[in-house]
Structure 1
Amino acid sequence: MPQGCHIMETGVGYPSVFVVDAPQRNVPFVPPVSKGRKKWQHAQLLLWIFMLLMLIGLVVQGYFLLSFRKELTKAATQREAEAPTYEKIIQGERPPKEKPAAHLTLGALVNTAENGALLWEDRKGLAFHQGMGYRDGFLIFNQSGPYYIYSKLFLGDSSCLSASQMVIHKICKRTSQYPKEIVLLTNKILTCSLQNTSGWRRSSFLAGIVHLEENEEVFVTVSHKRMVRVGDDTQSYFGTFMI
């Protein structure tokens, strides 16, 4: 009996088991990505990175340029505020002592030297000179260099009954290198038009930058000194400063 059972167990054959998946429907088809498309995607990514870097560079460059411009403007403003001007000199503010400068005003009377140079007050009121000399209407320069030179004359005629005249206002230079006087700046003003039947008033202003050598002399002339009106120190003056 035990042997029969043994024979039955060993004699029975078992079938092989196969698992078969059920068929799936509506599965999307994903095509394989080609190598060329992958390269194009990589190139696009690099292009965007490059454009982003360029944009960042432009922003940084603009920031530095704006900062540099602000610094230049600040320095120029500070330098302009510290630099002497004829307005500051007229208001009584003198330039630094290390630079030659002068500001002369007309006195109570209008007088001229033998050569026609206007005579000025060089010490009283707003008048002064430093680092240069003054004699008989002439400013004498002791140091060579570029100078800002200016002159203002307050002119007028009380009646205007006569015909119009041409008033000529000049700043001239006298130098040992040339036998004649040299005109540096000039202004011509026609007096008394038809609208000025009761009187005529006008200011003549000259200003410019010139290079002057040591021992050269500068002075002011006017063709009709009787038309120069005397007032306070701010109406008629003559001056210079080294720049």
Structure 2
Amino acid sequence: MQVSKTKAGSSARAQAGAAPAAFGGRTEDHSKRAQPMPLPATPQDLNYLYPQIFWVDGCSNASTPCPPAPSVAPFPPPVPDRRRKPGNRERRSVGFLVTSLLILLALTGVGLSMFQIFHLEKELAELRESTATEHVPPALEKLIGEKEQLLKTEARKAAHLTGNPAQHNLPLEWEPVSGYAFTSGIQYRDQGLVINETGLYFVYSNVLFRDSICSSQVLTHIVYKKNPISPNNHVLMEDKLINYCTGLKKWARKSYLGAIFKLGKMDSLHVNVSKVALVNFEESKTFFGLFKL
């Protein structure tokens, strides 16, 4: 150990002596060359010159064997296509099955309904045949009559009469059937409408007067009521026309009456005018009617 230090010291002095010659530009005897540095003789000296290198993978202890290096990781699996989820096919199958079942149930319900309707029509036809061929009991016949009468009375009571040019006398005569004319639950008799049920009614009447020469006479349009119990007539509505024309030209003037009245059973309503010859009896221009509220 001492020999090594002596050799190291002499080598250092030799290098220190050669340095001034190199920097100062002096030449030095080539015979005095620097001796190579002796190799260390002990392991401690080797540690000093060449420090130990350790792996930084957790294997810091040189005495224990290091685990084998991990193998190279394989490539990651491919990313699945999100547009095609695994459950889409199953969901479509379930949806198709449910839709098919609903359609089947709907068709079954329609079929059952048609069968029931057909069965009821068949029973009704058989019942009609049996009632036509067999004698109907009086009680059943009376019940059927009451039902028919109830249906007739429950129908809306109304009437609309149109002008009738075949006039003979006053009050005005009307057409109860042809054209727009009709009666429902109201009877047309003796040139008037007869009430068969007490209640509120809206009564209306329209008359068109016309002539080819103007005159100064007053035109009157009246709707009145009468009853077999009361001998007097009761005026319900009245209209008087004055100054309805000028000069010698043709003229036409409409008179309309309409209001709500409470009418009793057996009341009859009639229309009267001051001069029948001036009335235009076209069905769209002269008419009379009522309906129950």
TM-score using structure 2 length: 0.46
2:227 aligned to which of 159, 163, 175: 175
| Helix, strand or coil at the partner of 1:220 | strand
Shift of residue 178, structure 1, vs aligned partner: 2.4
2-side partners of 1:166 and 1:202: how far apart?
Answer: 12
**What is the DSSP-based 3-state SS (H/G/I as helix, E as strand, rest coil) of the residue aligned with 2:256?**
strand
**How far does residue 112 in structure 1 lie from its aligned partner after superposition?**
4.5
**In 2, Cα distance between equivalents of 1:217 and 1:209:** 15
**Residue 133 of structure 1: aligned partner:** 187
Structure 1 residue 235 and structure 2 residue 292: aligned? no
Structure 1 vs Structure 2 CA RMSD: 1.8
- Residue 131 and residue 146 in structure 1: after superposition, are their counterparts in 2 closer, same or farther (change >3 A)? same
Q: 2:273 corresponds to which residue?
A: 222
2-side partners of 1:149 and 1:187: how far apart?
14
Q: 1:151 aligns with which of 187, 205, 220?
A: 205
1:188 aligns with 2:240: yes
Aligned partner of 1:205 among 239, 256, 264: 256
Partners of 1:167 and 1:145 in 2: CA distance: 32
Q: Distance in 1 between matches of 2:163 and 2:173?
A: 7
Q: Please tell me whether the aligned partners of residues 202 and 260 of structure 2 are also in contact (alpha carbons under 8 angstroms).
A: yes
Q: CA–CA distance in 2 between the matches of 1:103 and 1:153?
A: 14
The answer to whether the 8 A contact 1:166-1:190 is kept is: yes
Deviations 1:144-180 (A, max 9, x none): 10000000001111122xx401111000000134221
Secondary structure, aligned partner of 1:180? coil
Q: Distance in 2 between matches of 1:218 and 1:99?
A: 18
Provide the rounded CA distance (Å) in 1 between the counterparts of 2:166 and 2:216: 22
Aligned to 1:34: none
Shift of 1:191: 5.1
TM-score by length of structure 1 reads 0.55
1 CA distance for matches of 2:257 and 2:189? 21
Residues 105 and 238, structure 1, Cα contact 8 Å, conserved in 2: yes
Show the counterpart of 1:111.
167
Checking the alignment, whether the CA contact within 8 Å between 2:220 and 2:240 is kept in structure 1 is yes
Shift of 1:121: 0.2
Aligned to 1:65: none
Identical amino acids, percent of aligned pairs: 32
Instruction: Name the SS for the 2:174 alignment partner.
Output: coil
CA distance 1:178–1:136, change in 2 (3 Å): closer
Compared CA separation, residues 226 and 191, structure 1 to 2 (3 A): farther
Deviation at 1:197?
Answer: 2.3
State the match for 1:13 in structure 2.
none
| 1:48-67 to 2 correspondences below 5 Å | none
Q: Which residue of 1 aligns with 2:218?
A: 166
Aligned with 1:101 (options 129, 145, 158): 158
User: CA 1:169–1:112 in structure 2 vs 1: closer, same or farther (change >3 Å)?
Assistant: farther
Which structure dedicates a bigger proportion of its chain to helix?
Answer: 2
Higher normalized contact order (CA 8 Å, seq sep 6+, divided by chain length): 1
Q: Determine helix, strand or coil for the equivalent of 1:226.
A: helix
In the alignment, is the contact (CA less than 8 A) between 2:244 and 2:253 conserved in 1? no
Instruction: Tell me: CA distance 1:167–1:110, structure 2 relative to 1, closer, same or farther (3 Å).
Output: farther
2:171, 2:240 → 1: CA distance? 17
Once residues 168 and 112 of structure 1 are traced to their aligned partners in structure 2, the CA distance between those partners, rounded to angstroms, is 18
CA contact (8 A) 1:110 1:118 kept: no
Taking the aligned partners of 1:110 and 1:192, their CA distance within structure 2 comes to: 26
Once residues 239 and 211 of structure 1 are traced to their aligned partners in structure 2, the CA distance between those partners, rounded to angstroms, is: 15
Structure 2 residue matching 1:117: 3-state secondary structure: coil
Structure 2, unaligned runs of 5 or more:
1-152
Alpha-carbon displacement from aligned partner over 1:58-116 (angstroms, at most 9, x marks no partner): xxxxxxxxxxxxxxxxxxxxxxxxxxxxxxxxxxxxxx971210000013x15154xx2
8 A Cα contact 1:110 1:228, kept in partner: no
